[in-house]
Amino acid sequence: MNREQTIEAIRVMQAYVDGKEVQFRVDDGWKGTFIPLWQWHTEDYRIKPTETLRPWTADEVPLGAQMRFKLTPSKRHLLGCVSEQVDRELWLSQREHSTDGGKTWLPCGVVEEAK
């Protein structure tokens, strides 16, 4: 291991000590581990990324989807316009949307992985 790799290993191991979830690389992505073996010469490890939710951009608004208020879910309407950024931020905190006729409801925003 070189100096930078050692610094990263210490950062990941300290996160584990602090109670954060650690993952190791498998063929098709990353998998969680409860008790890491710390085989740095054969395995890659990382701190499990946290997800954040951000408002839609104007291009991401699913026009024609149903939208409802979280507090009064019986009141629904169709998304017919992109609206202003301030409105899209309110949608994120106060509303949900469905693109399958109301079978499943999702946040009015995009889930992103944070590093």
Q: Are residues 70 and 89 in the same domain?
A: yes
User: So what's the pLDDT on residue 31?
Assistant: 94
Residues of the chain above pLDDT 70, percent = 98
Calpha distance 55→98 (Å, rounded): 16
Bin 90: left if φ > 0, else alpha if -120 < ψ < 50, else beta: alpha
Q: Are residues 34 and 13 in the same domain?
A: yes
pTM of the model: 0.59
pLDDT over 80 at 114, yes or no: no
pLDDT over 80 at 115, yes or no: no
Give the count of domains, the chain. Answer: 2
User: So what's the pLDDT on residue 40?
Assistant: 94
User: So what's the pLDDT on residue 34?
Assistant: 87
Q: Are residues 38 and 74 in the same domain?
A: no
Q: Are residues 42 and 95 in the same domain?
A: no
Calpha distance 102→70 (Å, rounded): 13
Q: Within 13 Å and on the Cβ side, how many CA atoms surround 4?
A: 0
Residues of the chain above pLDDT 90, percent = 71
Q: Are residues 86 and 104 in the same domain?
A: yes
The residue to which tokens 């301030």 are assigned? 86
Q: pLDDT tens digit string along 35-65?
A: 999 999 999 999 999 889 999 999 999 999 9
Instruction: Say if residues 20 and 48 touch (Cβ distance below 8 Å).
Output: yes
Residues 6+ apart with CB under 8 A from 69: 75, 94, 95
Q: Are residues 62 and 89 in the same domain?
A: yes
